[in-house]
Amino acid sequence: MDTEQICAGRVVIVTGAGRGIGRAHALAFAAAGASVVVNDIGSTLDGASTAETPAAQVVAEIEALGGRAVANGDDVADWEGARRLVRQAVDAFGKLDVLVNNAGFVRDRMLVNLSEDEWDAVVRVHLKGHFATMRHAIEYWRAEAKAGRPVDGRIINTSSGAGLQGSVGQSNYGAAKAGIAGLTLTAAAEFARYGVTVNAIAPSARTRMTETVFADMMAAPESGFDAMAPENVSPLVVWLGSVQSAAVTGRVFEVEGGKVALADGWRHGEPADRGARWDPAELGPVVADLIAKATPPEPVYGA
């Protein structure tokens, strides 16, 4: 592995790392010198269990390249499973430095047809799956900080354009990903005292979840640069997991191909202040003026 070792000696958990973007992250961290806990339950696109062992396969790839890795098959949205995942990193490699939350699946459907189970399943794995791993990781880091041991921790969460701008047919997924962005901001503010940064990415890449969305981009690019390759997302994640990123926290990055951008997020707009309670009948022109002065929102995907 000849990539610059900017994560040498770091211990990293990557969830959902058996395929796609997660696999790319695991391999990139290993190439950068990290020891990696490769988490994946081997599920299908919609979260159903299978007998596959993709985490073990990625571990074998890393070891074949001279890296260090162990496989983990816990469900990140299971409270004790998330606890075991964090504990395995510490038991296997002596510590934990970086948590990359990537695991997830989709059950796409227009909201009018969306079932309660389809809502619950997607929100569970994405939003609760992020919360549970973060909760056990910060418990470990807080104990380390209280014991006087230095902490230089990193959490990198995975949001989505579907959460930042909305996506037709993905209300469950979009709501969970929007929640992850909000969770990232809150955690960044709370965890700073322990020496832990928290950021998120909103990636665009070709995976099992996006192959239908990017169907027109699946052909080999004439330029030789595959802008939809999941490996394009990982360099920023590796940098965010390194010691070099200590000053960056509470940010959401959009990543696609060779492009990296900061998502601007919700901001306070210029108010119309009456200095007293509004009469409902007065608000029509007031709201129209506020909208006219504001920057138009980004269009919803698929609208």
Instruction: Give all domains of the chain, ordered by start, each with its CATH number.
Output: 11-262 (3.40.50.720)
Residue given tokens 């007031």 in the structure block: 286
Tell me the C-alpha distance between 23 and 35, whole Å.
14
To the query of whether residue 245 is one of the catalytic residues in this protein, the response is no
Ranges 14-23, 24-33, 137-146, 204-213: which has the least confidence: 204-213
In the set 35, 159, 177, 204, the catalytic residue is 177
- DSSP category for residue 95: -
In the set 35, 159, 160, 167, the catalytic residue is 160
To the query of whether residue 173 is one of the catalytic residues in this protein, the response is yes
pLDDT in tens, 132-145: 999 999 999 999 99
Using DSSP, state whether 15 is helix, strand or coil: coil
* 212, pLDDT greater than 60: no
pLDDT in tens, 45-89: 554 555 568 999 999 999 999 999 999 999 999 999 999 999 999
Strand partners, 158: 201
Q: Which helix (H) or strand (E) holds 100?
A: strand 98-100
Tell me the C-alpha distance between 185 and 37, whole Å.
25
> Using CA atoms in the order 178, 181, 182, 186, what is the torsion angle rounded to 10 degrees?
170
In the set 140, 173, 204, 242, the catalytic residue is 173
To the query of whether residue 160 is one of the catalytic residues in this protein, the response is yes
Chain-wide mean pLDDT for the chain? 92
